[in-house]
């Protein structure tokens, strides 16, 4: 055996791994920029050809790592006829006795929104003050590149022969509700089975402190239609004697919150022992709360955002102001969108909201509830060995202690993953920071965060291998 063939010891391997992250980082940024140029919006009204192109480019990058046994693109059709957007799936078998990790991210993006609000065009990646700007530059194409770059670094440190099994699932419709996710999982159940699952699609508390997301709220949405009259009537003839649907709707909706703006629906749970704290000034700044406008809810900021339910009316069907005539409306519909607390159950929460609406129907108004959409909340079991391994890898990759965080938003497929793979530990990491502006104009990725996130994930992958008995 010549010296150059001699296997590196674990410490040298980690040094080689971190060097590989460093050396390849300019390439990683260039590849991320290339992905951002593809406007892979997964919403129904957008051309699917771009999502297909971004799947193909992602598959190409995964193949170029040289470590996967197979890399494929697939989309599945659901029972109700929805054609799933193309996802990328790659697998490498584990050596005997070694564990397998599943790496998840998504390559589709949100629409750009109003073009005027962007300082630079959304699909022309632009580097400014250490951040890469563009739609998807962070959410979640930086997540995609984190996985690819971490696998490349692992490969460099192990002479192209990592011991662990690695599966990759890069979804193509996360921003469109992951509608074929369950069917996709069912079809690829065997390929995606793993001991640990890294979901790189979340947030960090700052650009220097890594976050491990351990709680996510669920969501419950529905269409609520309120009816009081068989037909529209002249408000001068009957106004004041019969309730129009708008009056009933306004009073019904008002009953959903107490005087502080906290949710007043009994039967919706809160999490008592969740992460607390948070700074109200951050909320004011992030929301650009207008002068003199108060925040709502009770408890600490993190309590309100992570541990308690929230209800928002996100749409209303009624005549527009310009088209309004002096008419009593017979029916009004609204979209009700609720975030539910970790530990609560989406079906139970839906029932609680439905019961509340029926019990509070003013003047005996008729309430119709349709189009329910439920997503389960999720709590990570933080006692497992992979969680401990990830925290140490984050500390070493970032040079800072990680914080356990919650998020106010929902990633319903995480609960679905946990249901299909109950044995797997789920690690929700991410590349976002408070300035990322995911889903908004001027979304950007902090490049320091990206480098640290790749280092942390590469270290985790390396340490995830079980030490083998027969070292030659």
Complex with Zn ion: residue 126 or 410, whichever CB lies closer: 410
- Whole-number Å distance between alpha carbons of 277 and 299: 9
In terms of CB distance, is 20 or 145 closer to Zn ion? 145
Name, in order, each residue with C-beta under 8 angstroms of 4's C-beta and a sequence gap of 6 or more: none
Question: Three-state secondary structure along 219-232?
Answer: EEEEEEEEECCCCC
Pick from 65, 219, 240: which is nearest to 144 by CA? Answer: 65
Closest separation in Å from C-beta 390 to Zn ion: 19
Work out how close the CB of 447 gets to Zn ion at its nearest, in angstroms, rounded to a whole number: 19
Asked if 38 and 54 count as a contact pair (C-beta separation under 8 A), the reply is yes
Taking CB under 5 A as the rule, does residue 443 contact Zn ion?
A: no
- 108 lies in the site for Zn ion, by CB under 5 A: no
For residue 328, which phi and psi values (nearest 5 degrees)? -80, 120
Q: Check binding of 425 to Zn ion (CB under 5 A).
A: no
Asked if residues 378 and 213 have their Cβ atoms less than 8 Å apart, the reply is: no
What are the CA-CA distances from residue 382 to residues 153, 271, 385, 404, 427 (Å)?
Answer: 27, 16, 9, 9, 9
Q: What is the DSSP string of 110-143?
A: -----GGG-SS-TTS-EEETTEEESTTTTTTHHH
String marking each residue 31-70 x if it binds Zn ion according to CB under 5 A? ----------------------------------------
Q: Which span sits near Zn ion by CB under 5 A: 198-206, 225-233, 244-252, 376-384?
A: 198-206
CA dihedral sign of residues 299, 302, 304, 308 = negative
Contact (Cβ atoms closer than 8 angstroms) between residue 99 and residue 464: yes
Single out the segment in contact with Zn ion by CB under 5 A; choices: 196-204, 305-313, 315-323, 384-392.
196-204
The yes or no reply on residue 203 touching Zn ion (CB under 5 A) is no
Binding status of residue 171 toward Zn ion by CB under 5 A: no
Q: How far apart are CA 90 and CA 68, in angstroms?
A: 6
140, two tokens? 């979640």
Contact criterion met (CB below 8 Å) for 340 and 377: yes
Listed ranges 86-94, 200-208, 210-218, 374-382: which one lies at the site for Zn ion (CB under 5 A): 200-208
| Closer residue to Zn ion (CB): 84 or 136 | 136
14 touches Zn ion (CB under 5 A): no
Q: What is the Cα–Cα distance from 66 to 55, expressed in whole angstroms?
A: 18
State the minimum distance, in angstroms, from the CB of residue 1 to Zn ion. 47
How many Cα atoms within 13 Å fall on the side-chain side of residue 75?
A: 18
**Residue of 31, 39, 41, 140 interacting with Zn ion (CB under 5 A):** 140
Q: What is the DSSP letter of 305?
A: I
Query: Which CB, 171 or 344, lies closer to Zn ion?
Result: 171
Please tell me whether residue 139 binds Zn ion under the rule CB under 5 A.
yes
Instruction: Count helices and strands (H / E) in the chain.
Output: 13, 18
Rounded least distance, CB 414 to Zn ion, Å: 12
* Smallest distance, Zn ion to C-beta of residue 180, A: 17
Whole-number minimum distance, CB 201 to Zn ion, in Å? 4
How many residues sit close enough to Zn ion to count as binding (CB under 5 A)?
Answer: 3
Choosing from 152, 201, 354, 446, the residue that interacts with Zn ion (CB under 5 A) is 201
Least Å distance between CB 17 and Zn ion?
26
Of the candidate spans 90-98, 119-127, 136-144, 311-319, the one that interacts with Zn ion by CB under 5 A turns out to be 136-144
CB of 110 to Zn ion, least distance (A): 8
Taking the C-alpha atoms of residue 323 and residue 34, their distance in angstroms, rounded to an integer, is 46
* The one segment of 45-53, 195-203, 294-302, 455-463 that binds Zn ion by CB under 5 A: 195-203
Element (H, E) at 71: strand 70-74
CB of 139 to Zn ion, least distance (A): 4
Q: Taking CB under 5 A as the rule, which mask of x and - marks residues 237-266 in contact with Zn ion?
A: ------------------------------
Closer residue to Zn ion in complex, CB, 110/333 = 110
Residues forming the site for Zn ion (CB under 5 A): 139-140, 201
């Amino acid at each position: 055996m010549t010296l150059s063939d001699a296997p590196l010891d674990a410490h040298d391997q980690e040094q080689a791994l971190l060097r590989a992250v460093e050396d390849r980082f300019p390439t990683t940024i260039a590849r991320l920029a290339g992905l951002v140029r593809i406007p892979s919006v997964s919403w129904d009204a957008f051309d699917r050809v771009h999502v297909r192109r971004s799947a193909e480019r992602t598959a190409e990058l995964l193949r170029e790592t040289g470590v996967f046994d197979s890399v494929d693109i697939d989309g599945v059709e659901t029972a109700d006829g929805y054609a799933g957007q193309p996802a990328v799936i790659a697998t490498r078998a584990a050596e005997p006795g070694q564990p397998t990790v599943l790496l998840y991210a998504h390559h589709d993006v949100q629409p750009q929104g109003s073009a005027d609000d962007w300082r630079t065009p959304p699909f022309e990646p632009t580097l400014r003050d250490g951040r890469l700007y563009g739609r998807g530059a962070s959410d979640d194409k930086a997540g995609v590149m984190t996985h690819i770059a971490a696998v490349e670094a692992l490969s460099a440190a192990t002479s192209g022969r990592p011991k662990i099994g690695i599966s990759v699932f890069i979804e193509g419709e996360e921003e469109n509700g992951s509608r074929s996710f369950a069917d996709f999982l069912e079809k690829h159940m065997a390929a995606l089975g793993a001991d640990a699952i890294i979901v790189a699609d979340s947030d960090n508390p700052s650009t220097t402190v890594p976050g491990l997301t351990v709680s996510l709220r669920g969501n419950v949405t529905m269409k609520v239609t309120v009816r009081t009259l068989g037909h529209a009537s002249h408000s001068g003839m009957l106004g004041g004697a019969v309730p129009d649907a708008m009056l009933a709707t306004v009073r019904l909706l008002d009953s959903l919150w107490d005087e502080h703006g906290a949710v007043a629906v009994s039967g919706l749970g809160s999490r008592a022992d969740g992460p607390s704290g948070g700074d109200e000034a951050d909320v004011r700044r992030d929301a650009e709360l207008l002068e003199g406008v108060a925040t709502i809810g009770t408890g600490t900021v993190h309590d309100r955002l992570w541990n308690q339910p929230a209800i928002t009316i996100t749409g209303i069907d009624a005549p527009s102001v310009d088209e309004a005539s002096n008419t009593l409306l017979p029916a009004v519909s609204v979209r009700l969108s609720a975030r539910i607390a970790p530990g609560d159950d989406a079906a139970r929460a839906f029932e609680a909201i439905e019961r509340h609406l029926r019990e509070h129907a003013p003047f005996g108004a008729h309430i119709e509830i349709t189009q329910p959409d439920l997503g389960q909340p999720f709590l990570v079991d933080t006692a497992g060995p992979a969680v401990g391994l990830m925290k140490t890898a984050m500390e070493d990759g970032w040079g800072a202690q990680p914080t356990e965080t919650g998020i106010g938003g929902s990633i319903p497929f995480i609960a679905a993953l946990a249901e299909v793979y109950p044995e797997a530990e789920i690690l929700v990491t991410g590349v976002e920071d408070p300035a990322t502006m995911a889903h908004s104009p001027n979304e950007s990725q902090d490049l320091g965060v990206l480098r640290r996130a790749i280092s942390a994930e590469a270290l985790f992958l390396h340490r995830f291998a079980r030490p083998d008995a027969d070292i030659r």
